[in-house]
Amino acid sequence: MSTRIALVLLLLTAPVLAQSAADKGTTEPDHYPELTQAEVPLYPPIALTAHISGTVEVQVTVENGSVVDAHVRSVDIHIADPENRTVYGAQAKARVGPMLSKPSLANVKTWRFKPEGRTTFVAKYVYRIEGEQTSVPENPKVELDLPSLVTVTAKPLKPTCSDCGADISGKPVTH
Amino acid sequence: MVKVNDSVTSEDGVALKFGDPGNGKGGVTNSDLRVDPNDPNKFQAVETVTIRPGLSGSALDAVAGHEGSHVADAQDFAATINMQGGFDASKNLSTYQTEFRAYMVTQSILSSENTKFGYGDCGVSGPCILGAGIMPAQAAQTINQLLANPANRYGAAPNYGVTPANPGPALYPELTTPQ
């Protein structure tokens, strides 16, 4: 399978000063711990195939370089109908949320940091479906502004066509 | 049994249209996936069947049955997908598998209507004959020849033909390994 990885790594390896928690009203540290290792996140394949996109906020606590706690703080889901006729309600979005939140949590748990004291911050995972349809699965574009923002952008999948190009109508045979 | 409706907003997600099937000369089926609008705990195949106008009798029956088989294959797989990221990959059929099954339906319909049709090119023997009087083993062999011949265009470029060894992509190519 041909693969093309468009991976944009914006690893902010030096500790980054953040606005104070009071200014932003969020759980943000005075500085982010320095990331040393992380697995590349991908677009969950079922979510991509079923046109599910959205944003997941994960609250992460790091101590001595390891993630000691991570939990989902919020999930904002968008579910598209291929024909743009069905509008999905809050119940459907809540049910589908784990399709994006579980992989986000799993990815954040692969992060390793330079050992230091205990720090808590929010990591945001943004899953987008954009661009021209593709009939062959491609690797997503992954943008990492770590450890605060992960953006995974995948192209929409073209519906599979059976019998395109073939003649299935046939002709009567008399003998 | 596959039900067909005139809009994908219908409960089962299947739409049937009579119109230009594009490059497909008799009919085509497009398969997509969505969260089931009636039950957000499930996923649903979104199937759009387009059949060329003007077909009638056994020709129409055979095309409708053939495309209906593709619809059923997609629905069967979609029903295995769960919200935990699991699915039965063995039901995400390859091009070869779903075409073979669809042509076995074609064979069954033509036999039951006591008629025979020729499809595509089976080499020196001419068109691939299916229908009345064709035994199941012979039908399977004929279908394999039909699907394998690149001239009949059941696969995609560059090979065009599909076989058990070169089965082509799955109905949902992204969903081959459960999460």
Round to whole Å and give the CA distance between A90 and B78.
22
Give the range among A18-22, A98-102, A121-125, A151-155 with minimum mean pLDDT: A18-22
Searching chain B, which residue's CA lies closest to the CA of residue A101? B84
Tallying the residues shown for chain B, one arrives at 179
Residue B3 has pLDDT above 60, yes or no: no
If one counts every other C-beta atom within 10 angstroms of the C-beta of residue A145, the result is 15
Residue A114 has pLDDT above 70, yes or no: yes
* B80 and B128 belong to one structural domain: no
- Domain extent, residue B113, equals 94-165
CB contacts of A154 in chain B (<8 Å) are none
- Is A166 part of any domain? no
Q: What is the CATH number of the domain that holds A143?
A: 3.30.2420.10
Tokens of A76: 């904002």
Among the listed residues A116, A148, A133, the one whose alpha carbon sits nearest the alpha carbon of residue A17: A148
- Is B170 part of any domain? no
Whether the ω angle into residue B21 lies within 30 degrees of 0, i.e. cis, is: no
| pLDDT score recorded for residue B62 | 97
* B53 and B105 belong to one structural domain: no
- Is B172 part of any domain? no
Give the range among B5-19, B82-96, B137-151 with minimum mean pLDDT: B5-19
How far is B103 from chain A, CA to nearest CA, in Å? 9
Q: Least CB-CB distance to B62: which of A79, A83, A170? A: A170
Q: In this complex, is the C-beta atom of B175 within 8 Å of any C-beta atom belonging to chain A?
A: yes
Look at B37 and A88 and tell me if their CB atoms are within 8 Å: yes
| pLDDT score recorded for residue A21 | 39
User: Can you spell out the DSSP letters for chain B?
Assistant: ----BB-TTSTT-EEEEES--TT-SSEEEEEEEEE-TT-TTSEEEEEEEEE-TT--HHHHHHHHHHHHHHHHHHHHHHTT--TTS---GGGS-BHHHHHHHHHHHHHHHHHHTT-EEEES--GGG-SEEEETT--HHHHHHHHHHHHH-GGG--S-TTT----SSS---BSSTT-SS--
CB contacts of A83 in chain B (<8 Å) are 8-9, 46
- Domain extent, residue A28, equals 6-154
Among the listed residues B150, B130, B35, the one whose alpha carbon sits nearest the alpha carbon of residue A166: B150
How far is B170 from chain A, CA to nearest CA, in Å? 9
Confidence (pTM): 0.88
* B10 and B55 belong to one structural domain: yes
Q: What confidence tens digit (pLDDT) does each residue in A122-153 have?
A: 999 999 999 999 988 899 999 999 999 999 99
Q: What confidence tens digit (pLDDT) does each residue in A70-90 have?
A: 999 999 999 998 877 788 999
Q: Least CB-CB distance to B98: which of A99, A162, A168? A: A162
